[in-house]
Amino acid sequence: MATKHTFDYDLIVIGSGAGGSAAATIAARDGKRVAIVENDTFGGESPNWSDVPTKALIHVARLYDEARHASRFGLRTSTLGYNYPSIRAWKEQAVKRTGAANNRRYYENNGISAFHGTARFISPHEITVNRRHLSASNFLIATGSSWMVPKIQGLTEIDYFTPRTILEAIRPPKSLAVIGAGSHGVEIANLMATFGTKVHLIDKASRILPNFDKEVGELIEKNLTDRKGVSVLTHSRVLSVSKEGISKRVLIDRGGSERSIKVDEILIATGRRANVDLGLENASVAYTADGIKVSDTLQTSNRHIYAAGDVIGRVKTTHTALLESRVVAHNVFNRTKVTPDYTATPNIVFAYPEIAHVGWSEDDCRRRDLNINKTIAPLSIIARSNTADYRDGFVKLITDKKGIIIGGTVVSPHAGEMIHEIGLAIKHGLSAKDLADTPHAFLSWSEAVRVAASRLSA
């Protein structure tokens, strides 16, 4: 006898980015009836307007920057230039090649019903999309987050960029005020300054990259100011913005004194807010402005509705959203629930040099009142820094009192690749001695990890 289905689908996923795509695909491959709903571009933030296009542009900027400074190696670089429309074309090609951008057909080819429109709950088991009613026994909310508009006088009266919209700029502006010196603000400031933009990087915090240890912000600030000519304005609160002819004026308060900056464009990178406007009240799902509340197993206050990714307001990285999405795919259809293991989740900023962090920072340890050992190994002590003529960076390791590695930060070329051995050490409870005793290839940047570990295990 055929099974009678009470609902249209076994699982409806709202949001086709990293937080939704993995769960939808896994469930469909397991023979479940799955639908996915997207109100923007299929594929979500990462492949369309964030990780992929940004890193494609940053790769070009890095090549250009290194070439411009290559005369010390005997290369003739005086005639070097760039064609920004061609650079943008490369960015578009990189986005297209990932296959994850604008990928509605991918879902349909995997037997997933794809709907374009805004989903709203009308009951715990039913949503509407473009006036169409869809029901499911389970839901995954993976609607992500959007750039937050801060309360700055005059901001609603002017045009401004976000890290999403600046990728579509026809050319780099002659001057740019970047409001917000977190990861995204620093990446964009670095990118635009490389292409010749006069950048003012503004933040109310006492240092740029305030979520990293202070050595990181200090080194990157020095690099931005000395190498790229960026004007860094920390301890600075933006009072107002206004139009002035074809330019814009930014009024800031820095340490009690007001200062005015005239720029061509403004970029807002002060933070993101969870996309929770879904009629969650109709589904009895608890949430705040910071995001949807979930249990350790990513269930909302309504047990058949799950949430993953930026919308739950936790660690905002693509790889974290994918991890959570895979966990939800398991938990929705299995009695035995699992919890996501965030232990060794790295965080990477694609500045120059790259910044990578995993585990606990020194600030985290201080807040927990932990007794720790720490060391910093500067890049200048390894041979690779000599052959590459690059010394601005370090490896910082933190251990507990037993010598077990609990945190690490790398500021170096290829830091994003180097961080994973520290992550592996943290995940498996390895000591600094274990890391120091592991052979590291001579003339690799990773030798700095070995040196730092040996200092802690001496």
| 85-102 pLDDT tens trace | 999 999 999 999 988 778
Q: Which of 77-81, 97-101, 140-144, 195-199 has the lowest average pLDDT?
A: 97-101
| Structural domain boundaries in the chain | 9-43+102-146+273-333, 155-270, 353-457
| 335-346 pLDDT tens trace | 999 999 999 999
Rounded to whole angstroms, how far apart are CA atoms 309 and 323? 9
Rounded to whole angstroms, how far apart are CA atoms 373 and 395? 14
In the prediction, which pLDDT does 158 show? Answer: 95
Model confidence at 1: pLDDT above 50: no
Cis before 378 (ω within 30): no
| 121-168 pLDDT tens trace | 999 999 999 999 999 999 999 999 999 999 999 999 999 999 999 999
In the prediction, which pLDDT does 188 show? Answer: 97
**Residues near 183 by Cβ (< 8 Å), separated by ≥ 6?**
209, 211, 347, 349
Confidence band (pLDDT; 50, 70, 90) for 182? very high
Percentage of the chain surpassing pLDDT 90?
94
Model confidence at 350: pLDDT above 80: yes
In the prediction, which pLDDT does 65 show? Answer: 94
Q: For domain 155-270, say whether CATH 3.50.50.60 is its number.
A: yes
Please check whether the two domains, 9-43+102-146+273-333 and 155-270, share a CATH topology: yes
Rounded to whole angstroms, how far apart are CA atoms 220 and 222? 5
Q: Six-digit token pair at 320?
A: 């974290």
Which of 350-360 are b and which e, b meaning 16 or more Cβ less than 10 Å from the residue's Cβ?
Answer: bbbbbbbbbbb
Q: Six-digit token pair at 40?
A: 């923007």
CB 377 within 8 A of CB 451: yes
Angle at the Cα of 232 from the Cα atoms of 245 and 193, rounded to 5 degrees: 70
Q: For domain 9-43+102-146+273-333, say whether CATH 3.90.550.10 is its number.
A: no
Over residues 176-187, mean pLDDT = 97
CB 427 within 8 A of CB 452: no
CB 359 within 8 A of CB 344: yes
Q: Six-digit token pair at 441?
A: 């290839």
Q: Six-digit token pair at 360?
A: 């606990």
Mean per-residue pLDDT of the chain: 95
Which of 166-202 are b and which e, b meaning 16 or more Cβ less than 10 Å from the residue's Cβ?
Answer: bbeeeebbebbbbbbbbbbbbbbbbbbbbbebbbbbb
Q: What does the DSSP assignment read for 284-324?
A: T--EETTEE---TTSB-SSTTEEE-GGGG-S---HHHHHHH
Model confidence at 274: pLDDT above 80: yes
Q: Six-digit token pair at 251?
A: 């009024």
Between 3 and 444, residue with greater pLDDT: 444
Pair type for strands 354-359 and 405-412:
antiparallel
Rounded to whole angstroms, how far apart are CA atoms 407 and 426? 7
Model confidence at 2: pLDDT above 60: no
Over residues 441-446, mean pLDDT = 97
Domain covering 353-457, topology: Enolase-like; domain 1 (3.30.390)
Over residues 371-379, mean pLDDT = 97
318 closest CA partner among 93, 98, 63, 58: 98
Distance (Å) of CA 262 to CA 157, 250, 256, 356, 431: 16, 6, 20, 34, 52
Rounded to whole angstroms, how far apart are CA atoms 113 and 440? 49
| 220-272 pLDDT tens trace | 999 999 999 999 999 999 999 999 999 999 999 998 999 999 999 999 999 99
Rounded to whole angstroms, how far apart are CA atoms 111 and 33? 8
| 282-323 pLDDT tens trace | 999 999 999 999 999 999 999 999 999 999 988 778 999 999
Over residues 189-216, mean pLDDT = 96
Rounded to whole angstroms, how far apart are CA atoms 95 and 100? 8
In the prediction, which pLDDT does 77 show? Answer: 87
- Residue 267, Cα to own-chain centre: how many angstroms? 17
In the prediction, which pLDDT does 3 show? Answer: 54
In angstroms, how far apart are the furthest CA atoms of the chain?
79
